[in-house]
Amino acid sequence: MSIPECLNLDDIEQAATQKISRKAWGYYYSAGDDLISKTLNNTVYQNILLRPRIFVDCTNCDTSTTFLGHKVSVPFFVSPAAMARLAHPDGEHGIAEACAKYGAMQLISNNASQTPEQVVAGAQPGQVFGWQLYVQTDRKKSEDMLARIQKLPAVKFICLTLDAPVPGKREHDERTKNVASNLPVRSAVMGDGSPSAASTTPEPESSGGVGKALFAGTAPDLTWKTTLPWLAKHTNLPIVLKGLQTHEDAYLASLHAPQVKGIILSNHGGRAADTAPPAVHTLLEIRKYCPSVLDRIEVWVDGGIRRGTDVVKALALGAKGVGLGRAPLFGLGAGGREGVERVLEILKAETETAMRLLGVGRVSELGLRHVNARKVERD
């Protein structure tokens, strides 16, 4: 299927599946154990109903919003995802160019296959990036990276991922480990520090898959008490915590405002603890037990977003932003930068249509009255 023939994100995934290597597919598609969280991510939005209103002028529709005070054109963003060059040589920089075209925010993975400097090179004025950190056992490596990031004005915040101190057991990834490939399996910055290392380092035979190889230096000993003070010492950028899966942790995070400015409710696309809840469940828990969190910090969600209606439902439930993990990677696989542009184009158009059909002209107008989430609340 050609890129223009792709009408939705499933089409894009299929187109990519036909083009990318088995290794890339195994790494991107994979999730923990039995893929239960991944499957739930993909189906949970189907169990939330929309409540469209009539007699509302929907001539104009504005999908723009702000993330941490920065203006963006769409309420969805690119979540951090490692190794984009496994899909296509355009890599994370290709994603950045597509984001520039659609005014979308991009989070750059700690394990990106290009350096942060390469990814943001040529960023448009006003283009917004975050940089995602996996704290390394060798703290000096992370401290050096934080110092580098501080020099990139386009990067507006640090996103600290906390749901994967170790990778989940991802069997699709493990099964494709021995497929011959000259593609990169180390992050551009965590290899030997030189961007070129990323394109030449072969996957170690014993890696058990790309995921395990990438996680080799990741620290498993992070705590509320020690990690945030350490991070605050090494960056003055705002901090967003990613991978929260309970209302208790969301509440604890909110107690760290204003140092912590936002959280991303996420089960890592089902790639960490299998049977962990989809973000929407955690969002509903927050609404029930500690709604003040939504006023104190920005709450974003990711996992399983396939349609503009999914975006609109998450926003109506109180999320300020909605992340996409696999979709941009599959866009890259389907057609490089153009494939990612198509992903963003499709989702923007679908989001606009969903807003108009609901009777909503601006993102800020979306609220609880636009959804019926009773079926999910009962779970």
In this chain, which stretch among 226-234, 251-259, 262-270, 371-379 interacts with ligand FNR, using CB under 6 A?
262-270
Q: Please work out, in degrees rounded to the nearest 5, the angle formed at the alpha carbon of residue 57 by the alpha carbons of 55 and 63.
A: 125
Q: How many residues bind ligand FNR (CB under 6 A)?
A: 26
End-to-end CA distance of the chain: 38
Question: Phi and psi at residue 347, in whole multiples of 5°?
Answer: -70, -35
Give the residue nearest to ligand FNR (CB): 325
DSSP single-letter state for residue 324: E
* Closer residue to ligand FNR in complex, CB, 177/271: 271
**Is-contact 242 182, C-beta < 8 A?**
no
102 is catalytic: no
Q: Is 81 in the site for ligand FNR (CB under 6 A)?
A: yes
79 touching ligand FNR, by CB under 6 A: yes
Instruction: Locate 126 and state its tokens.
Output: 């006003």
Cis bond upstream, residue 258 (ω within 30):
yes
Residue 302 vs 338, nearer CB to ligand FNR: 302
Q: Does 127 bind ligand FNR (CB under 6 A)?
A: no
289 is catalytic: no
Hey, is 333 helix, strand or coil? Answer: helix
Burial class (CB in 10 A: 0-12, 13-18, 19+), 225: exposed
Nearest distance from C-beta of residue 357 to ligand FNR, angstroms = 23
Any idea of the CA torsion for 76, 81, 86, 87, to the nearest 10 degrees? -10
Provide, rounded to whole angstroms, the least separation between the CB of residue 266 and ligand FNR: 4
The tokens for 230 are: 């350490």
Task: Specify the residue, 21 or 372, whose C-beta has the smaller distance to ligand FNR.
Answer: 21
Q: Does 300 bind ligand FNR (CB under 6 A)?
A: no
Tokens of 93: 């920089």
Query: Could you tell me which stretch among 91-99, 221-229, 230-238, 296-304 binds ligand FNR (CB under 6 A)?
Result: 296-304
One of 90, 163, 249, 302 is an active-site residue; which one?
163
The yes or no reply on residue 324 touching ligand FNR (CB under 6 A) is: yes
Pairing of strands 70-72, 65-67: antiparallel
Smallest Cα–Cα separation from 262: which of 280, 235, 244? 244
- Taking CB under 6 A as the criterion, the residue among 284, 297, 305, 373 binding ligand FNR is 305
Phi-psi region of 126 (alpha: psi -120 to 50; beta: other; left: phi over 0): left
**CA 367/CA 370 separation, integer angstroms:** 6
Which region among 189-197, 268-276, 313-321, 352-360 touches ligand FNR (by CB under 6 A)?
268-276
268 annotated active-site = yes
x/- string (CB under 6 A) for ligand FNR, residues 200-239? ----------------------------------------
| Residues labelled as active-site residues | 134, 163, 268
Residues binding ligand FNR (CB under 6 A)? 27-28, 41, 79-82, 109-111, 132, 161, 242, 266, 268-269, 271, 302-305, 324-327, 329
